[in-house]
């Protein structure tokens, strides 16, 4: 089976020749290509080249056009900072009031020169060179995460309590923009999108159900109408949110190392959903010996045996992870 065939079969609950391997690679891929992070995050061709190199060199089954969380916000008018060795970020929040929100443009995600179009270019290049053999995902940030970037993390959290109606207006506006960005990437021929919502792990279950889940669900539904897949990626300890996350209806769920993999299995197995995780990126990869990494991979594979499951760390692979450790991780499903 190709990596793409393997991943799609696992998501559908069909037989596979081995468990798929699906890490999130950003700094790790960038540094091995020998470019600055600024180049990696600013040039779609470079983004694609770095991801394709990971597929070619290590044989991962899936790759993702993910570099940073400030594509949409940049195109909404945020003043951006582009460090040489770190992800780009907005210099200051754009929205402090309802008047600020109403002044925002509705950018075209395919407009030449925009940061969203640059990610679409990365998707196009990844499909061109690896689309037959690897599962290829684009990337969006979910409306709640985008709201935290647009308004400022602490400021938006306060808004949930002090001005919930305005918070919903912000989320309504962003949901349509996120859907447009997702559809623009899907039009390149990729298999689906990864969707990050890490900030949602910081709120209570009731707040998640009010301010994050409904908007996540609308993004999922739009992707499904396009007959594509969505992977929901929420870093952090989401133990209290597992059932609510499962109800969003994504096709694949990332499980952070802070979440018990057995609890995730219970939440996702019951709904026939696919999940991946949950190696600790630091303890089980960055700081691990090859044998320790293999042992932990075996633990995850055994815990998830019989599930719709992909081997993965709980989040991004650190750049300084030794190549020999990463290679063992990639080969673990074959090593037994």
Domain CATH number, residue 230? 3.20.20.210
Average pLDDT score over residue span 236-255: 97
The confidence score (pLDDT) of residue 113 equals: 96
Which domain covers residue 18, as residue numbers? 3-335
CB 153 within 8 A of CB 217: no
Average pLDDT score over residue span 156-164: 98
Structure tokens that stand for 86 in this block: 């770190």
The confidence score (pLDDT) of residue 215 equals: 98
pLDDT tens per residue, range 278-334: 999 999 999 999 999 999 999 999 999 999 999 999 999 999 999 999 999 999 999
Average pLDDT score over residue span 77-84: 97
Name the average pLDDT for the chain: 97
For residue 55, the SS3 value is helix
- Among 244, 72, 42, 220, CA closest to 141: 72
The confidence score (pLDDT) of residue 262 equals: 97
DSSP run (H or E) holding 15:
none
> Among all chains, which residue has been given the structure tokens 């407009």?
111
The confidence score (pLDDT) of residue 38 equals: 98
pLDDT band at 335 (very low <50, low <70, confident <90, very high): confident
- The β-bridge partners of 252 are 231, 274
**Most distant CA pair in the chain: distance in Å?**
59
The confidence score (pLDDT) of residue 282 equals: 98
pLDDT at 29 over 80: yes
pLDDT at 336 over 90: no
pLDDT band at 256 (very low <50, low <70, confident <90, very high): very high
> How many separate domains does the chain show?
1
CB 75 within 8 A of CB 146: no
- The β-bridge partners of 255 are 277
């Amino acid at each position: 089976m190709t990596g793409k065939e393997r991943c799609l079969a696992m998501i559908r609950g069909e037989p596979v020749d081995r468990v798929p391997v699906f890490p999130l690679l950003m700094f790790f891929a960038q540094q091995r290509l020998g470019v600055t992070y600024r180049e990696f995050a600013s040039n779609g061709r470079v983004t694609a080249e770095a991801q394709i190199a990971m597929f070619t060199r290590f044989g991962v089954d899936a790759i993702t056009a993910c570099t940073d969380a400030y594509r949409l916000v940049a195109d909404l008018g945020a003043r951006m900072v582009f460090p040489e060795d770190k992800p780009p970020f907005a210099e200051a929040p754009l929205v402090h009031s309802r008047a600020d929100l109403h002044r925002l443009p509705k950018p075209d995600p395919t407009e030449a020169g925009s940061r969203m179009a640059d990610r679409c270019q990365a998707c196009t290049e990844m499909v061109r060179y690896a689309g037959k053999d690897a599962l290829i995902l684009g990337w969006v940030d979910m409306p709640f995460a985008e709201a935290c970037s647009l308004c400022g993390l602490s400021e938006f959290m306060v808004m949930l309590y002090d001005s919930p109606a305005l918070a919903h207006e912000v989320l309504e506006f962003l949901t349509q923009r996120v859907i447009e960005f997702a559809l623009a990437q899907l039009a390149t021929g990729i298999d689906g999108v990864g969707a990050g919502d890490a900030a949602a792990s910081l709120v209570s279950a009731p707040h998640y159900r009010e301010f994050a889940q409904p908007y996540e669900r609308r993004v999922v539904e739009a992707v499904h109408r396009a007959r594509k897949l969505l992977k929901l990626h929420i870093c952090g300890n989401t133990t209290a949110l597992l059932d609510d996350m499962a109800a969003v209806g994504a096709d694949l769920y990332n499980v952070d190392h802070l979440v018990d993999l057995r609890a995730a299995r219970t939440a996702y197995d019951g709904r026939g959903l696919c999940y991946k995780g949950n190696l600790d990126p630091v303890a089980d990869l960055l700081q691990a010996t090859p044998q320790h990494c293999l042992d932990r991979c075996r633990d995850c594979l055994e815990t998830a045996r019989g599930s719709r499951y992909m081997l993965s760390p709980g989040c991004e692979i650190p750049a300084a992870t030794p190549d020999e450790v990463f290679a063992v991780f990639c080969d673990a499903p074959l090593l037994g």
